[in-house]
Chain A
Amino acid sequence: MKRLAMVIGAAAVLAFLGSYHVAEVEACCGAYYPPTINELSCDPDQLWPPNHKYRDIMVTANVTADPRDPSNPPVDWQVVSVSSNQPDNATGVGDGNTTNDCYVQTAYTTDPVSGQGFGMVRARAERCGNTAAQYGMGRTYTIVVRAWARGLFQTLVAERSCQVYVPHDRGR
């Protein structure tokens, strides 16, 4: 009887040891993987005609937590910068005499009706008309979006860009 009790007791302990998992503890603190920026879009992605006027560019992104993240942490995103590959007021023709050619108007907001999040950028429809190599392809505005997720012991950031073109001419 004594041996039987010992065997039963030991078996119970071993069975417990073999089956127990603490994955929930590991999964609690979230954000093991950087967020994923899917389907980043700048609309419009081309500005024409180059009449030096500001155009509104809507930036939308589908930002999700990495599907592998066990706690599916919330993620936020916003537009963090817009820059041009040409000087604000380059020498030569076609660029006009303007400065502050691009800026982030709204980093992030939501459409009150649809609930969809978006950012807004303003950029001038202009480019340097020089045909020199560095200008010949027109102007490119690069808009950068940042997404982040946070956990109790780490922060994860992802950045991705989209481009808006002002062609040198209609042919390119």
Chain B
Amino acid sequence: MKSSTWIVGGIAVFAVGAGLLTLTHQEPAAKAMSEPSSGTVCPFGEAAQTGHEHPHADGHVHVEGEQHEETYWGGLQDVNLTEAFTFSPERGETALLHYRLTEPARVQIRVKDAETRELFLATILNWDLREPGEHTEIWDGHDYSGNIIDMSRATITLIARKPEHGSELMPLDSRSPEEIVHSEEEHEHGTHHAWAEEVPYLRILEPAPRAESRGLLLIRSEVDENRRGYGDLYGYGVRYYVDGVLAREEFYKPESDGRFAYRLDTSAFPDGEHLLQIGMCDHHQHATSASVPVVFRNAAGNP
């Protein structure tokens, strides 16, 4: 009798533990993340599978003429970022980016290269808290290194999120951009807090702006020691671009201490002025970049 009591007790503890866990456990695994859920309460995931439903401005999801009661968050209204594509930063102009919030929100605005995956060029707003009302953000059109961004090949993104979800965990999976920072070391993917997201600062030590070079060009860069992201844990992924074309990608282990070096063969590119960009991210999507204009002179007769 006593034995059966213990067994029943064990089952009860098991059930209670499972119930508590359902409420508190927050460690989604990469495997589960790569398999979109089915049968959840979210109407949007299901809508995506059918391809027929779209959320509309009235806050409802329409399904073949019917109106369902499921709603999305409609706190962001009247977005207008178009000036980012039409102003002239070379003339000293600034772009005014407008949006309206009907309730408080955390807002992130970033600029990334549209042609190259995960090359972030500028962070205009990094999850700053904004109150309800009209908002205008001012942007000077420059990238992290102070060079003017070619907006004809850029995408600007704005995310507004309810502030009470500031502690929501951001799901990660095994794809971009973490793929470039995978080492042979196995470790489990999971989540990280979105608000722990600080933009790392990467500086190019070599070459100097507009330095002329031929043959192999030594490129050295380093992450600011006070704004490192999570690279100390799992290392960094670093990509080198010339005029937006990926030239090289490398993985650096944590022992790199955030210092990167690569010799670029400049003879593979036409002579003249180019923009060298270095994109960097850590395993938890703290992404940044740095850029420097360079001049290649490889043709015979060039001094």
Contacts and interface: CB of A to CB of B under 8 A. Distances in A.
Interface of A: 1-2, 4-6, 8-10, 12-13, 16-17, 20-32, 34, 36-37, 40, 65, 67-68, 70-74, 76, 80-81, 83, 85, 142, 144, 146, 148, 150-163
B175 A68 contact: yes
Main SS class of interface, A: mixed
30 contacts: A9-B9, A9-B13, A21-B29, A22-B21, A22-B26, A22-B27, A23-B28, A23-B29, A24-B32, A26-B28, A27-B37, A28-B41, A30-B44, A67-B175, A68-B172, A68-B173, A70-B171, A73-B44, A74-B44, A83-B82, A146-B79, A153-B73, A154-B105, A154-B160, A155-B74, A157-B79, A157-B81, A158-B157, A160-B114, A161-B85
B141 to A, nearest CB: 13
B86 interface: yes
B153 to A, nearest CB: 9
A146 B171 CA distance: 25
A26 B29 CA distance: 11
Contacts of A156: 157-159
B132 interface: no
Nearest to B168: A153
Most buried by B among A29, A74, A142: A74
Nearest to B38: A24
Contacts of B6: 2, 5-6, 9
B74 A23 contact: no
Nearest to B91: A134
A1 B114 CA distance: 67
The B interface is mostly helix, strand or loop, or mixed, namely mixed
A40 B154 CA distance: 11
B3 A1 contact: yes
A8 B71 CA distance: 46
B28 A150 contact: no
Contacts, number: 212
A85 B152 CA distance: 13
B13 A27 contact: no
B48 A65 contact: yes
Interface of B: 2-3, 6-7, 9-11, 13-14, 17-18, 21-22, 25-29, 32-34, 36-37, 40-42, 44-45, 47-49, 51, 53-55, 71-76, 79-82, 84-86, 105, 114, 151-152, 154-162, 164-165, 168-173, 175-176, 191
B26 A26 contact: yes
A155 B10 contact: no
Nearest to A6: B6
A153 B104 CA distance: 12
Contacts of B81: 144, 146, 157, 159
B21 A17 contact: yes
Contact of A155 (B7, B11, B72, B168): B72
A12 B14 contact: yes
Given A5-B10, A6-B10, A68-B176, A16 B156 contact: no
B152 A70 contact: no
* Closest 5 pairs (CB-CB, A-B): A9-B10, A23-B28, A5-B6, A23-B32, A71-B45
Nearest to B23: A22
